[in-house]
Amino acid sequence: MSEDIRAQIGALQQAFEERPEGLLRHVQRVLVEALDLAERYDLDPERVELAVWGHDLFRSFAPADQLRLALECGLSLTAADRADPVLLHGPIAAVTMRERFGVSDEEALAAVRDHTLGAAEMPIIAKVILLADKFEKRKRDRTPVMKAIRRLAWRDLDTALLCWADWKWVQERENGWQSHPAGWAARLHWVAEHHAEMGLPAREPDEPTES
């Protein structure tokens, strides 16, 4: 099993010889963060490394190529995907890793697929990859709030994810960007889970106010 994973990682690294240098550097920075969290949460470092090397395999592809590849992969596209095809690079990479690189680790594939938008249910490895991708060194230098999210991730992955989703929501509203329905659905699920964990009662509809 481990030999398989090493060979798969090697093949993905080889593919990066044809990717832009800047993307390779990003993947290397994500790896530093992801391995740190892997140790904290007792995850197999090789599985984490596999997901890190796969997550941005198609990140540098032009939007038209992302759409073409997504269709070739048999992905069903929503209007939001067509409006912003770069969001497809995770799902395309997950299908390609399975079909071309022989990866069968379902949790690692889910981590690759959902690293951009998140998902309602995520294995721990997927939470680690998403967060490491968002607060790698260059990103947290550029966006200081990511430093706080990084510290939080060390204490609790779910709370860190929720804080990231809320930060993203503010960014979207401030800039007039649409929230992707899949990302928004994931956030709503995380909010509900967070409230359930805190033992808060379900939210009651507001009483109509008397005028």
Other beta carbons less than 10 A from residue 29's beta carbon: 19
What minimum distance in Å lies between the beta carbon of 78 and Fe ion? 18
Span near Fe ion by CB under 5 A; candidates 13-21, 52-60, 176-184, 203-211: 52-60
Task: Tell me the HSE value of 88 on the side-chain side, using a 13 A CA sphere.
Answer: 28
What minimum distance in Å lies between the beta carbon of 26 and Fe ion? 6
What minimum distance in Å lies between the beta carbon of 59 and Fe ion? 5
Other beta carbons less than 10 A from residue 61's beta carbon: 18
- Residues 99-118 touching Fe ion, rule: CB under 5 A, are none
Q: How many residues bind Fe ion (CB under 5 A)?
A: 3
| DSSP-assigned letters across all residues of 161-204 | HHHHHHHHHHHHHHHTPPPPHHHHHHHHHHHHHHHHHHTPPPPP
**Measured between alpha carbons, how far is 189 from 167 in angstroms, rounded to an integer?**
16
Assess 56 for contact with Fe ion (CB under 5 A).
yes
Span near Fe ion by CB under 5 A; candidates 49-57, 119-127, 163-171, 186-194: 49-57
What minimum distance in Å lies between the beta carbon of 27 and Fe ion? 7
The 122-141 site mask, x for binding Fe ion (CB under 5 A), equals -----------x--------
| DSSP-assigned letters across all residues of 26-75 | HHHHHHHHHHHHHHHTT--HHHHHHHHHHHTTTTTS-HHHHHHHHHHTTP
What minimum distance in Å lies between the beta carbon of 3 and Fe ion? 27
Nearest to 27 by CA among 73, 89, 80, 85: 89
Span near Fe ion by CB under 5 A; candidates 8-16, 58-66, 117-125, 203-211: 58-66
Under DSSP, the state recorded for 76 is P
Instruction: Give 59 or 140: the residue with its C-beta nearer to Fe ion.
Output: 59
Residues in contact with Fe ion by CB under 5 A are 56, 59, 133
